[in-house]
Amino acid sequence: MELRVIAIVAGIFFCSDVSAQTPAWSIQPNICVAQRVGDECQLTFRIETQNMPAEPLCLFLDGQLINCSKNSYVSKETSISINKNVLIELKNKAQKTIVSKKLLVKYLDLHDHRRRVRPPWSLF
């Protein structure tokens, strides 16, 4: 019985220790609402980070550099303009992705667009 309790406690401690070491972030808000498909959507979000490595980190939006920090990433507000879902990533100097997340675009008016039945440029 004691052994089982020790194992459970050790497991909880180990898991919490691992999560404490894993870099994590939150981006709020991460959904941008546009009027209709194709419209540019302005999104101002705030990044909160946890357990970031103590090294310079850069923020990328679909592979495009947004900004960098000299040391461990500092949380701050960032404004972007997007017209489709994009991938936002935090990378180190070796271009290794530390954390990543999708930023989504939702539309108020989807009724004036349809999916195409055939792929584009498919005449031949």
Size of the site for other proteins (CB under 8 A): 31
Question: Does residue 93 contact residue 68 with C-beta atoms inside 8 Å?
Answer: no
Site for other proteins in 52-111 (CB under 8 A): 60, 62-63, 83-87, 89, 91, 95, 97, 100, 102, 105, 110
Nearer to other proteins, 17 or 121 (CB): 121
Q: Is 121 in the site for other proteins (CB under 8 A)?
A: yes
Q: Which is nearer to other proteins, 74 or 110 (CB)?
A: 110
Nearer to other proteins, 54 or 124 (CB): 124
Which helix (H) or strand (E) element contains residue 72? none
